[in-house]
A and B are shown apart, each in its own frame.
Chain A
Amino acid sequence: MATSTLPADRFSEAGPSIGDYTSVLLQRYVEILAQSATAQVLDLGPVCEENIIYFARRVKRFHVCDMFLRLNRSRRKGLPSKRVWEHLDYASHSFAGINLWDFMDHLNDDQVGRLVELCHTLLKPRGMMLVTSFEAQSAPSQINSFVIKDRYRLTFRLQAHLDLPWHYRSNRSLTHMLSAFPSVKSFLYRNGIREFLCKRD
């Protein structure tokens, strides 16, 4: 698998400037979710007030389980990494959408495999998953949350309390890992961010 793990100090202190961008796939995702009066959506963090308000006003119920923080704590305490998945103890077919953001960038291949498997279980048929991933040269030196602004514009906010490894993957590698989802739409932005909108069959 074309994956490489690089230490955070691989980049300059500030890291390359990411810059805001307007997310085409977020727009598509939200528009589809908003068509349902009963859609429930799960967000895997980091906790972000703007995103909570944004989604909670557009879907029936918005769930947040901050897996970034949970993984961070688990690593700090030296707990077996498998235990972190116990937090995603939701019933099968619960969600019309799952927001992964760049969580996969902080997981090794085995963990990504488990996450994708779990998401496939948690999503309803035809449910969608929004995945974001940085290209190696564009990733910031520290973890940021993706913050939804108006008109599907995304900005970034530093999450200094999080310290997780980065795993960079090629497009081929990422799409291979998402192959459990038959329909994948993806976009590469000028700022080096890749978005994937996956749809469960």
Chain B
Amino acid sequence: MLKKSKKPTDDGGAAFGGTTEQKTLTAISNRETAAEKTVIGEKISIEGSIQGDEHLVIEGSMKGNIEIDKHNFAVGQKGRVEGEINAQSVRISGQMIGNIKTKGKVEITREADFMGDIRAKSISVEDGAYFKGSIELEREPHRKTAATGETTAMKNSPPVNAAQTPTTKAADKEK
């Protein structure tokens, strides 16, 4: 069972806004923030699935699936997670292998090492993130109109490339 204690913090913890050095605690439930949050500390390893009704931050090591679809999930900079995540929003700053499903936003920071598939409403990815995976977002309504609109716009505002020169080559056979 996780050890829980109160810890007043002003930043809401590593994964929800910055790094923390919470080395003395193995697991912290911060009940002084608006929503409850559990932090799995750096020196903790968990194997198994987690379900719950509060925000979760992994600073340690976790192997297993996480189901907190009404709450936020984060992997801190030193965190390592292998599993499937279903959460309201997700922020990855550490290592993660696995798929993410959320109705909200996924944030991948530059410190992240992520491999997996993401299904989300929106995403932010910082330059420099070590990333291999796929992203499926809500698609824009179809195309034909949009494409036509953009084509028209192109015609109306000529590109910078006045010196565009077809440099090559084979006949363009596209229809």
Closest to B124 in A: A49
Main secondary structure of the interface of A (DSSP, over half): mixed
Q: B130 contacts A184, CB within 8 Å?
A: no
Most chain A CB atoms below 10 A, which of B153, B164, B166:
B164
Q: A61 contacts B135, CB within 8 Å?
A: yes
Task: List chain A residues, Cβ under 8 A from B130.
Answer: 66, 69, 73
Q: B123 contacts A58, CB within 8 Å?
A: no
Task: List chain A residues, Cβ under 8 A from B143.
Answer: 31, 34-35, 58
Q: A183 contacts B171, CB within 8 Å?
A: yes
Q: How far is the CA of A105 from the CA of B35 in the complex (A)?
A: 49
Q: How far is the CA of A31 from the CA of B145 in the complex (A)?
A: 11
A80 → B minimal CB distance (Å): 19
Task: List chain A residues, Cβ under 8 A from B171.
Answer: 183
Q: B132 contacts A65, CB within 8 Å?
A: yes
Task: List chain B residues, Cβ under 8 A from A27.
Answer: 150-151, 154
Q: How far is the CA of A65 from the CA of B167 in the complex (A)?
A: 30
Q: A186 contacts B166, CB within 8 Å?
A: yes
Closest to A31 in B: B147
Does B138 interact with chain A (Cβ within 8 Å)? yes
Closest to A49 in B: B125
Task: List chain A residues, Cβ under 8 A from B123.
Answer: 49, 52-53, 56
B145 → A minimal CB distance (Å): 11
Please provide the chain A residues from 63 to 98 with a CB less than 8 Å away from any CB of chain B in the complex: 63-66, 69, 73, 87
Task: List chain B residues, Cβ under 8 A from A151.
Answer: 150, 153-154, 157
Q: A24 contacts B159, CB within 8 Å?
A: yes
With contacts A56-B136, A58-B139 taken as known, whether A183 is within 8 angstroms of B170 at the C-beta atoms is yes
Q: B138 contacts A186, CB within 8 Å?
A: no
Does A161 interact with chain B (Cβ within 8 Å)? yes
Question: What is the number of residues of chain B that contact chain A, defined by CB distance less than 8 Å?
Answer: 45
Does A10 interact with chain B (Cβ within 8 Å)? no
Q: How far is the CA of A145 from the CA of B172 in the complex (A)?
A: 28
B97 → A minimal CB distance (Å): 14
Could you mark each residue 32-65 of chain A with 1 if its beta carbon is under 8 Å from any beta carbon of chain B, else 0?
1011000010000111110011001111111111
Q: How far is the CA of A61 from the CA of B116 in the complex (A)?
A: 13
A5 → B minimal CB distance (Å): 22
B127 → A minimal CB distance (Å): 6
Q: How far is the CA of A60 from the CA of B134 in the complex (A)?
A: 10
Closest to B162 in A: A190
Stretch of A15-23, A106-114, A117-125 that contacts chain B: A15-23
Q: How far is the CA of A35 from the CA of B139 in the complex (A)?
A: 13
Q: Which of B134, B151, B167 contacts A61 (CB 8 A)?
A: B134
Please provide the chain B residues from 111 to 145 with a CB less than 8 Å away from any CB of chain A in the complex: 122-140, 142-144
Task: List chain B residues, Cβ under 8 A from A184.
Answer: 168-170
B101 → A minimal CB distance (Å): 14
Q: Which of A23, A64, A161, A194 contacts B131 (CB 8 A)?
A: A64
Q: Point out residues on B near A: beta carbons under 8 Å.
A: 122-140, 142-144, 146-147, 150-151, 153-154, 157, 159-174
Instruction: With A40-B134, A65-B131, A182-B170 given, name 14 new contacts (CB 8 A).
Output: A27-B151, A31-B143, A48-B125, A49-B126, A53-B122, A60-B139, A87-B132, A152-B150, A187-B164, A187-B166, A188-B163, A188-B164, A190-B164, A191-B160
